[in-house]
Amino acid sequence: MPSPDRLQEFESVALPLLPDLYRTATAMLRDQTEAKDLVQDVYLHAWKSFHRFQAGTNCRGWVFQILFHRLHHHRRKLLRFRLLTEQEQYHEEHLAAELPVPERLTDEEVLAALDVLSPEHREVVLLADVEQFTCREVSEMLSIPMGTVMSRLSRARTKLRSALAGPAAALGIGHGRRAR
């Protein structure tokens, strides 16, 4: 049984991170129910390994590292069951509906632009640009070299600019827009 002090410490340093973890999990999985399950799993693993956490260090980075380890485990599990039938694959490739021309840049367009990214690029953008971790912290969390983080971040930002160029141009955002 954990000591009351240890439980109080866990609650004070890890539980305030719940909204950030949930937001990131939802952005990565695109499903709120799966995101809730994943975050619950993250907290379970964080609690089980909290004895290894050193007080005074970066708890946010530590918990996000657990999130991405659990996310990769979750993806591997899903990939085993997500094989499309030939007919489903045909529909995915040939029967896509055309979207109407946007009147303004919406959250959905930004999220759709994020969906264009591979999971590896999306997780780096979310950690660096949304959660504002440094490249070094992202490197440590994802267990990849810092050069890989910077490369993925650069490529992801380029893809996001391309994906958002059309809707932005329709609003007059981008090259040639006059400052007001």
Q: Residue 140 belongs to a domain with what CATH number?
A: 1.10.10.10
In a domain? residue 179 = no
pLDDT tens string 47-92: 998 888 888 888 999 999 999 999 888 777 666 555 555 555 554 5
How much is the pLDDT for 102? 43
Residue 118: which domain range? Answer: 105-170
More confident residue, 93 or 178: 93
> Does one domain contain both 9 and 40?
yes
Name the domain boundary from 84, 114, 139: 84
> Does one domain contain both 15 and 66?
yes
> Does one domain contain both 67 and 4?
yes
> Does one domain contain both 2 and 80?
yes
Domain count, the chain: 2
CA distance 33 to 42: 14
Q: What percent of the chain has pLDDT over 90?
A: 39
